[in-house]
Structure 1
């Protein structure tokens, strides 16, 4: 999987995790890190385990909702 498709897979998985957990605020970096670990594991790649604090410190971007999600849907409680 190339880097672009891998990043897209992580973004979509992080969004799915966010939805599955009831769309909590402030967990985007944790969801992104968890999604990245899952995608890497599916690809047979290894990533060192990090605790939540390390994940937050090392994250460089936050996940975004897929393009088909409207602004009204993102702001629903």
Structure 2
């Protein structure tokens, strides 16, 4: 199952359903299911290449991306808001 909360028309009516919006639903489903996102390593690697440099020690870093400190994989809202 894929949940996608999308608006299908500019002026939705009470009967806003798949049958009345089949072309829009079809396009949205293709877009949602074919969307490719980078994994976290690739995403943060791109940010490092664009904005800074790798450092050997986390103590010398302006931003830390790790499993146990700084920005972690357990902060998906922050990753999405600040890095995607």
More relative contact order, 1 or 2 (CA 8 Å, 6+ apart): 1
Q: State the TM-score, normalizing by the size of structure 1.
A: 0.30
Q: Which has the higher helix share?
A: 1
Larger Rg: 2
Q: State the TM-score, normalizing by the size of structure 2.
A: 0.28
